[in-house]
Amino acid sequence: MEPESDDCLECRLTSGFGVIGGGAYVAYHARKQSSVGRIVLGVISVGLCGLGLCRLFQLPPFPSKRRNPNPPIH
């Protein structure tokens, strides 16, 4: 028996916007760094924002209830 995941809308909004906020925070502080540090922190902030958007829209790597990765074999 598989445990049911409680992936409610409020959970997705809270975690998605939290990660996007983390990406914005990193981007804000990247402005104060040298050129190499700015590039590294910029890449990290883009990654965090992308991960937050994936969480909001249930894109991979986050599982979706609509997709069944292992369909039953008949």
The domain limits of the chain are 9-56
Question: What's CA 60's distance to the chain center, in Å?
Answer: 9
State the Rg of the chain over Cα.
17
pLDDT score recorded for residue 72: 64
pLDDT score recorded for residue 1: 45
Structure tokens at 73: 């074999």
Specify the residue for token string 């590294």. Answer: 40
**Is the whole model's pTM more than 0.85, yes or no?**
no
DSSP 16-44: HHHHHHHHHHHHHHHTTS-HHHHHHHHHH
pLDDT averages per 10-residue partition of the chain, 74 residues = 68 94 96 92 96 91 65 66
pLDDT score recorded for residue 61: 83
Q: What does the alpha-carbon distance between residue 43 and residue 21 come to, in Å, rounded to a whole number? A: 15
pLDDT score recorded for residue 37: 93
